[in-house]
Structure formats: C-alpha cells, structure tokens
Amino acid sequence: MVASPALQVSGLTRSFGGLPALAGVDLELRPGEVVGLLGPNGSGKTTLINVVSGVYRPTSGRVELLGHDATGQAPERLVRLGLNRTFQTPRPFRPLTVLENVQVALRHGRDAAQSPEEILELCGLGGQGGLPAESLNSSQQKRLDLARALATAPEVLLVDELAAGMRHDELDGAAELLRQLAAAGRALLVVEHLMGFVRQVTDRVVVLNAGTTIFAGSLEEASQDPHVVEVFLGA
C-alpha cells in the first residue's frame, strides 16, 4: 500500500514574456520521502519551487497539496495548507534577531509542536537566538531560513540548495537533519548540485531539462540513462 502523494504537480508550465521557463513538469512527492531535483543551470529547478510555493502563478498545469487544489494560491495560504520552502540565497529578516525570525513564523504559520528554541537547536543555531540575523554567516542564514520554514510545521518542504557553501563538517549535520524530517513523515524536495549530498539524502531523483521532466527514478538509474548523461555532460 503506497501512501497518497503529499504534493502532486502535473503539466506545470510557466513562461516569462513568451519564453517558457517550465514547459510541462510532472512530479510526485510522498510523505516520508526525500526527492532530489536535479538538472543543469537554467533547467527550471528554482522556477519550479517558485511556482509551487506561490511566488509565481503558473501559466498552466495543476498543483495538488495534501488533497487540496493549490494551483496559483498565495504563499501565505500555501503555508497554512502545509507547504514551505527555503531560498537559494537565504532571506532571513535581517534586522530581526534569530529568535524573532522564528517567532514570526511560529505565530502566523500552522501550529508547530516545538518551541522556537527547540527549532533553532534542531537547525544547529542553538544559543544564537539573541543575535541579529544579519550577523550570521551565509551557511547559518540558510539554516535560519530552514528553521523559519520548519516553524510553520510544513508537511511538504522545498529545500533550494541548502548544502551549497557549507563546510564538510556542516554537510553531515544538514543531511542528517533532512533525513530526520522525512522520518517524521514529511515530504521533501531537495535541489542540490553536490552529488555526494544528493546520494546521502535522497530516496530517488527527478531530472529537469529545459523546463520539462526528463527522468524520474533512482540516482543509480539516472546515472545510466543516456538522455540524462547527455544533458549533464552537454554532449
């Protein structure tokens, strides 16, 4: 018995001034799994996250979140329905303290069972609650982005390049955290360029090229798929 999908994306397209950034993406995320989203630069990974999280409206297609139609909904509404995301370039509330960053989300999002201190601890920011967010380094800011997203108790979490720029000792912690979140029943979509990290974290991968899904399956199969190899090696 396979669990029903937490997030189902079908035929999603989005154009900017006539140029298609997404040209028909299909994707399914089930509770408790971590799916890697791969693809060369400009293949539409971040655009997909932006459309699914309500930053952009899709041109056509459908997004279903936990059984609700979530197509083209406003971000704050999607957050209430149980979706959140992080940013490739982290966007904490810079003038607020680390703790306040999480408190804002705790107050307005869905009810998270944890206290703000626990969430910060989980993301490796324990004891730093009193610091202004702008004083954090970029890796810490990424984790603060993640902490803020977790404070809204998401069932579906889209993680945009968490590992990029992290030191080696930080990578293992980050991987462990993502696995832990999935083990608690959340569905994660992870965009990442570091293949080692992808192998460590994901259950399976989806490959995008030129705005369309060209592959869905295990990472092993992907590395043997001629089309995927061609796209990545730029033959």
Chain residues that interact with other proteins, rule: CB under 8 A: 53-55, 74-76, 79-80, 84-85, 87, 91-96, 99-101, 103-105, 107-110, 127-131, 148-149, 151-152
Distance of closest approach, residue 174 Cβ to other proteins, in angstroms: 20
Report the 10 Å Cβ neighbour count for 130. Answer: 9
Please, is 12 exposed, middle or buried when counting C-beta atoms within 10 Å of its C-beta (0-12, 13-18, 19+)? buried
Closest to 161 in 3D by CA, of 82, 55, 90, 75: 90
Q: Which is nearer to other proteins, 85 or 143 (CB)?
A: 85
Q: Which is nearer to other proteins, 55 or 122 (CB)?
A: 55
Distance of closest approach, residue 158 Cβ to other proteins, in angstroms: 10
Question: For residue 69, what are the β-bridge partners?
Answer: 64
User: Residues 150, 154, 155, 160: is their CA dihedral positive or negative?
Assistant: negative
CB 61 within 8 Å of CB 11: yes
Q: Which is nearer to other proteins, 161 or 213 (CB)?
A: 161
Distance of closest approach, residue 6 Cβ to other proteins, in angstroms: 18
Distance of closest approach, residue 137 Cβ to other proteins, in angstroms: 13
Q: Which is nearer to other proteins, 16 or 230 (CB)?
A: 16
